Amino acid sequence: MNASNWQTHFRTRRVLITGGMGFIGSNLAIQLVNQGAQVTIADAMIPGYGGNLFNIEPIRQQVTVNFCDIRDVNTMNYLVQGQDYIFHLAGQVDHILSLSDPYPDIDMNIKGTAVVMEACKHHNPKARVIYTGTRGQYGSAVSLPVDENAPTHPKGIYEITRLTAEKITQVYHEVHGIRSVMLRLTNVYGPRAQMIHARYGVVNWFARLAIDGAAIQVFGDGQIKRDFLYVDDCIEAMLMAAVCSDAYGEVFNVGLDQPTTFLELAQTMIEVAGTGTWAFAPFSPERKAQEPGDFYSDISKIKRIVGWQPRTSLAVGLAQTIAYYRAHKAHYW
């Protein structure tokens, strides 16, 4: 299979999305439905994790929704049957929470992934699995930009469980023949994210503050660099990797090869929104303990093998993000 035909490949395909009511999952579901796929969404709708019925408003009548937990063996055994693709996005995604309570991370991310992969092994070994992890699996960068061969030295339980889930997925690919692609996503932002708290999704939280005319806190001197990826580009990477035979068994960074400082992010956000202010702020002890410093992805591997590269500039992505939340504020604030 060639990634060049990804926009027509999913027509009539059966696709399961775990965590499909959340930020990335719902955007993925909309794109797949628009391409003619038969989409099933599995989501436990745990409060604070981003699951939101409004996220799938444009396609609500065109998808099957199963409110369930990925740790439920019988449910996952049933749901994976007959699926051509499984996008495994569900999990505990709050790295701040993991500092005070590591058990949900271990239970959801490790056990939950094992349940999904066991279900595939026993009930649908022909399914193709796309697992989404995080750039946090690397920890602090040894050199920049960070490529997939860089050492993994996570700085928290959340990131450790994400790395473990990736390794579980890889084992099922290598040992049990469940064709899988492992993606390490970096700082994704855009429409349909949770906007109630600041524990994850820094760009979207900055957007809320700007829209509300509030002050954006820029930690330290604001010079820490990150790559911020617009969600539509992220979805495109996931779909292109899914249909690329050469991608199976591989780990890919999915990010932007043009880093931005947090100060530049805040200033661009305020400029695009036309509202809001910014101010320097000291790191909290928790944030300082987990702050890896400068980080941006080397995406040459996914460019070379899959043919994907991001297309949305920061200014354009922020403008689309601001416009979406201004239009639908009642469903997110």
Question: What pLDDT is stored for residue 290 in this prediction?
Answer: 67
Which backbone phi and psi does 67 adopt, to 5 degrees?
-85, 100
Q: Which two tokens stand for residue 53?
A: 């019925």
Q: How high does pLDDT run on average in the chain?
A: 95
Q: Which two tokens stand for residue 65?
A: 């929704």
Which residue reads 């099922």 in tokens? 172
C-alpha 297/C-alpha 273 separation (Å) is 27
Domains of the chain: 3-192+229-255+297-311 (3.40.50.720)
Each residue of 116-162: pLDDT tens digit?
999 999 999 999 999 999 999 999 999 999 999 999 999 889 999 99
Residue 146 DSSP symbol: B
From first to last of the 333 residues of the chain, give the pLDDT tens digit. 777 789 999 999 999 999 999 999 999 999 999 999 999 999 999 998 899 999 999 999 999 999 999 999 999 999 999 999 999 999 988 777 777 889 999 999 999 999 999 999 999 999 999 999 999 999 999 999 999 999 999 988 999 999 999 999 999 999 999 999 999 999 999 999 999 998 889 999 999 999 999 999 999 899 999 999 999 999 999 999 999 999 999 999 999 989 999 999 999 999 999 999 999 999 877 767 667 789 999 999 999 999 999 999 999 999 999 999 999 999 999
Sequence-separated (6 or more) residues with CB below 8 Å from residue 210: 216, 269, 270, 272, 273, 275, 276, 322
Burial class (CB in 10 A: 0-12, 13-18, 19+), 74: exposed
Q: If we measure between CA atoms, which residue out of 168, 49, 154, 166 comes closest to residue 99?
A: 154
Question: What pLDDT is stored for residue 310 in this prediction?
Answer: 97
Q: If we measure between CA atoms, which residue out of 146, 132, 138 comes closest to residue 297?
A: 146
Q: How far is CA 283 from the centre of its chain?
A: 25
Task: Please count the residues of the chain.
Answer: 333
Return the SS3 of 258.
coil
| CA angle centred on 237, ends 233 and 243, rounded to 5° | 145
Return the SS3 of 10.
coil
C-alpha 185/C-alpha 234 separation (Å) is 8
